[in-house]
Amino acid sequence: MLTFTVVAPKGGVGKTTLSANIGGLLRDFGFRVLLIDADVQPSLSKYFDLAQVAPYGLTKLVSEGFLTPDCVSTVQLPFGEAGFKGAHLLNPTPALDIVLSDTREGKLQDWLAQRLDRLVRISMALNQDAIATLYDFVIIDTQGALGHLQDAAVNAADILISPVTPDVLSAREFIDGTRHLIARHEEAANMGFKVPAMKAVINRTENTRDSREMSSLIREAYLHLRGRVSTVQTAVHSAVAFRKAATAKVPVHWIDPLRAADAMHMLLWELVPSLQGQYAPNHRNFGNPDAVLDGFGPDSHDPDGQ
Ligand SMILES: Nc1ncnc2c1ncn2[C@@H]1O[C@H](COP(=O)(O)OP(=O)(O)OP(=O)(O)O)[C@@H](O)[C@H]1O
Ligand SMILES: [Mg+2]
């Protein structure tokens, strides 16, 4: 089981979008995926429709330090509905489950503040043998602010995924914020906790000089973060398809099986190199692992504005 935590020191940079789409693509690869919405604003909880809503969610997971079935809701994807490209090719069987955010602003944070073991409240819930046999991947979405909940989500990760948008303000805030976040967790590393490797993902690139310059600036800035952060080569372009997908409550590769699907495949392959060459069944290269994804560059332009 591999756990990703999607974290950023800034709001609105694409954490929830990446969480939902990486989760959805892994599911369509045939993996069993658990999403955890650890944001007090329950955006990931609302991204997909639900087939079954569990009576409990994040609060119980954190406060009991145990993941029980009554915390796990099930996502409903609209298989069989018209309008989704190649959805009939997808396998309806693999699981896409979610632990919903049910915490009122501040309440869980306050509870955690009283606990000496607050840093490990999520990791201890996930480190049970039973969970590892149920899920291949866990993806935790977080809020864009430091806090005990974010700390616990970071501590539970094998890999931190950190979206950053290529604009000056966002990049600056991001670099300072990331430095701070890493320093904060390195203090805990002195007590024997690991600091997960962070992979920065440049999200919402445009085909402009400014966007390209900011992307290189971000890549350079991370070279100085003591090897803790690497920027993945795949940048995710800005595309209407991401918003359309959120509206339709499906992963973006159901809406745009060409460019957005390619970007998400390449991102996933970089994050989990053993997946290289695997495709979702609705992808044109499915069954042809030697095919290459062409017509796609890290910062290239989306000609049809998708
Ligand atoms: N690559 C993209 N192209 C176009 N729109 C995008 C892209 N990524 C995200 N968006 C849009 O940007 C907005 C913010 O994204 P999202 O909600 O994922 O950010 P967030 O980091 O989770 O925000 P918050 O801090 O509020 O939780 C959403 O409307 C989303 O649809
Ligand atoms: Mg969000």
Domains present along the chain, CATH in parentheses: 2-154+243-275 (3.40.50.300)
Q: What's residue 300's pLDDT?
A: 41
The rounded distance, in Å, linking the Cα atoms of 262 and 264 is 5
The rounded distance, in Å, linking the Cα atoms of 205 and 237 is 4
Q: Is the CB of 205 under 6 A from ligand 1?
A: no
Q: What's residue 294's pLDDT?
A: 64
Which residue among 5, 6, 16 is best mutated to probe the pocket of ligand 1, counting the most ligand atoms within 8 A of its Cβ? 16
Q: Is the CB of 38 under 6 A from ligand 1?
A: no
What does each C-alpha distance from 274 to 26, 157, 231, 242 come to in angstroms?
13, 18, 19, 26
The rounded distance, in Å, linking the Cα atoms of 188 and 184 is 7
Q: What's residue 16's pLDDT?
A: 98
Q: Where are the beta strands (DSSP E) in the chain?
A: 2-6, 33-38, 49-52, 73-76, 96-99, 137-142, 159-164, 197-205, 229-231, 236-237
Q: What's residue 297's pLDDT?
A: 43
Q: Is the CB of 171 under 6 A from ligand 1?
A: no
Q: How many helices (H) and strands (E) does the chain have?
A: 12, 10
Closest ligand 1 atom, residue 44 Cα: 22
pTM score over 0.85:
yes
Closest ligand 1 atom, residue 240 Cα: 4
Distance from the alpha carbon of residue 66 to the mean position of ligand 1, in angstroms? 30
Torsion of CA 291, 294, 272, 251, to 10 degrees: -100
Q: Which helix (H) or strand (E) holds 179?
A: helix 168-189
Which residue among 10, 242, 296 is best mutated to probe the pocket of ligand 1, counting the most ligand atoms within 8 A of its Cβ? 242
Ligand nearest to the CA of 7: 1
Q: What's residue 1's pLDDT?
A: 95
Per-residue pLDDT tens digits of the chain, which is 306 residues long: 999 999 998 899 999 999 999 999 999 999 999 999 999 999 999 999 999 999 999 999 999 999 999 999 999 999 878 788 788 888 888 889 999 999 877 789 999 999 999 999 999 999 988 888 999 999 999 998 888 999 999 999 999 999 999 988 878 888 888 888 888 888 877 777 778 889 999 999 998 888 888 888 888 877 667 677 888 999 999 999 999 999 999 999 999 999 999 999 999 999 999 999 999 999 999 988 778 886 454 444 444 444
Distance from the alpha carbon of residue 243 to the mean position of ligand 1, in angstroms? 8
Q: Is the CB of 150 under 6 A from ligand 1?
A: no
Residue at token pair 């390449």: 266
Q: Is the CB of 203 under 6 A from ligand 1?
A: yes
Distance from the alpha carbon of residue 143 to the mean position of ligand 2, in angstroms? 6
Closest ligand 1 atom, residue 203 Cα: 1
- The SS3 call for residue 243 is helix
What does each C-alpha distance from 284 to 24, 79, 234, 269 come to in angstroms?
17, 19, 19, 17
Distance from the alpha carbon of residue 165 to the mean position of ligand 1, in angstroms? 10
In DSSP terms, which residues pair with 274 in a beta bridge? Answer: none
Nearest CA to ligand 1 atom 8: 14
Distance from the alpha carbon of residue 161 to the mean position of ligand 1, in angstroms? 14
Q: Are 193 and 127 in contact (CB under 8 A)?
A: no
Q: Which backbone phi and psi does 162 adopt, to 5 degrees?
A: -130, 100
